[in-house]
Amino acid sequence: MALASLFAASTFRTAVYGSAVLVAALVVSGVTVFSTVRTTLDEDVRNQVESARAALIEVYAAEGRDTFLDHVRRIALRLGAWREAIVVYDTQGQRLAGNIAIPPPPEGWHEIDDPALTVAVSYPRILANVSVLGDFTVLSGRSLQTRDVTLRTLAYSVSGLALLVMITFIGIGIVLGSRAQRRLSSIGAALERVSLGDLSARVPVDFGIDATDKLAGQINNQLARLESLISLTRATSATLAHELRSPLARATLAIERAADAAESDRAKQALGEVEAELARIAAVFDSVLRIARIGSQPSLDSGHIEPAAFSPSWSRYSAPWRRNAA
């Protein structure tokens, strides 16, 4: 029940809604940043591949066909350390030189995912450009490991930040909701004490800076005013009853003397009725004084009493009555 009240509190709901809005904003921003970073990294890798392809074209144009193949065979031995890939195919698709062994893809740009690439470039994915150079088909590529690791790290960071924000906001909501629930419970407890007759009960006020403290201060002001009014009413009632008892007693005594001195029965009857009414008024004044005395005393504590606790005493006191009845 306490958890249900906490989760239903407006403070907790506000924190949850705020965290949801902030997480949504982080997700949108993360997607935008992720897309921008991926485009930038793809352009960087593409430029590196274009530079390698341009260098191969210069060698082919300057040195000729055979020297070009020898150049490719020489550099293919050390391209793996640079995470680059190069393959030269003939017109039939047979590999003539290079550091990876895969079938020739069609012309254009490709993201190639092949476990065989791990041997040559230490990563199974490359961005490659396939083009025709004279009698050859040339594949120039570069590992996508740096791009993939960067994007994966960015995705994990955004997800972790969103999770941290949500947990933080929910924690703040739980703390603030628990505090508000305690304050409302203290208000309810104070009002319950007042309903039981303890007019001195007050609502605790912490710092007086939030709406709950202001409400508690207003309630305390009203309770103080209520206590003052009730105390004044009791005192006034007791004073009036006490002041009127003496004239009432003298009036009753005078009626009794008049009744004794009356000669006719009708007059005695009329004076007796007046005396009865004065007795009723005196009883009312006695009740007012009794209520005032009870109100001035501290309220008695109430509690639960088990009927079984009275069984021995009841049996002992009721034994004579039961014997007489038998």
**Average of per-residue pLDDT across 115-125:** 79
**Average of per-residue pLDDT across 260-287:** 72
Is residue 142 domain-shared with residue 233, that is, in the same domain? no
Please list the residues that pair with 141 across neighbouring strands.
85, 128
**Average of per-residue pLDDT across 59-71:** 88
Instruction: Please give the pLDDT value at position 214.
Output: 80
**What ranges in the chain are assigned the alpha helix state H?**
2-8, 10-63, 65-76, 117-121, 145-195, 211-261, 265-296, 311-325
Q: In the listed set 130, 150, 170, which residue is the last one of a domain according to the structure? A: 150
The Cα 180–Cα 69 span in angstroms is: 79
CB 182 within 8 A of CB 39: no
pLDDT surpasses 90 at 39? yes
pLDDT surpasses 50 at 80? yes
Tens-place pLDDT, residues 180-192: 778 778 888 888 8
Instruction: Please give the pLDDT value at position 32.
Output: 92
pLDDT surpasses 70 at 213? yes
| Residue 185 belongs to some domain of the structure | no
Q: Domain tally for the chain?
A: 2
Q: CB 126: neighbour CB atoms within 10 A?
A: 27
Instruction: Please give the pLDDT value at position 285.
Output: 67
Confidence class for position 1, pLDDT limits 50, 70, 90 = very low
Instruction: Please give the pLDDT value at position 308.
Output: 56
Q: Which of 41-45, 65-69, 186-190, 213-217 has the lowest mean pLDDT?
A: 213-217
Instruction: Please give the pLDDT value at position 149.
Output: 92
**Average of per-residue pLDDT across 131-140:** 90
CB 257 within 8 A of CB 245: no
| Residue 160 belongs to some domain of the structure | no
The Cα 46–Cα 182 span in angstroms is: 62
Residue bearing the bigger pLDDT, 209 or 153: 153
Tens-place pLDDT, residues 277-298: 777 777 776 776 677 666 655 5
| Residue 237 belongs to some domain of the structure | yes
Is residue 242 domain-shared with residue 132, that is, in the same domain? no
Domain that holds residue 274: 221-296
| Residue 238 belongs to some domain of the structure | yes
Q: CB 82: neighbour CB atoms within 10 A?
A: 13
Is residue 31 domain-shared with residue 138, that is, in the same domain? yes
Instruction: Please give the pLDDT value at position 326.
Output: 47
CATH number, domain of 39, equals: 3.30.450
**Average of per-residue pLDDT across 84-100:** 88
Is residue 229 domain-shared with residue 142, that is, in the same domain? no
CATH number, domain of 242, equals: 1.10.287
Residue bearing the bigger pLDDT, 17 or 137: 137
Is residue 126 domain-shared with residue 228, that is, in the same domain? no
Closest CA to 113 of 77, 85, 78: 85
Is residue 19 domain-shared with residue 137, that is, in the same domain? yes
| Residue 162 belongs to some domain of the structure | no
Q: In the listed set 150, 178, 199, which residue is the last one of a domain according to the structure? A: 150
| Residue 122 belongs to some domain of the structure | yes
Confidence class for position 129, pLDDT limits 50, 70, 90 = very high
The Cα 206–Cα 217 span in angstroms is: 10
| Residue 32 belongs to some domain of the structure | yes
pTM across the whole model: 0.56
| Residue 246 belongs to some domain of the structure | yes
Q: In the listed set 99, 132, 150, which residue is the last one of a domain according to the structure? A: 150
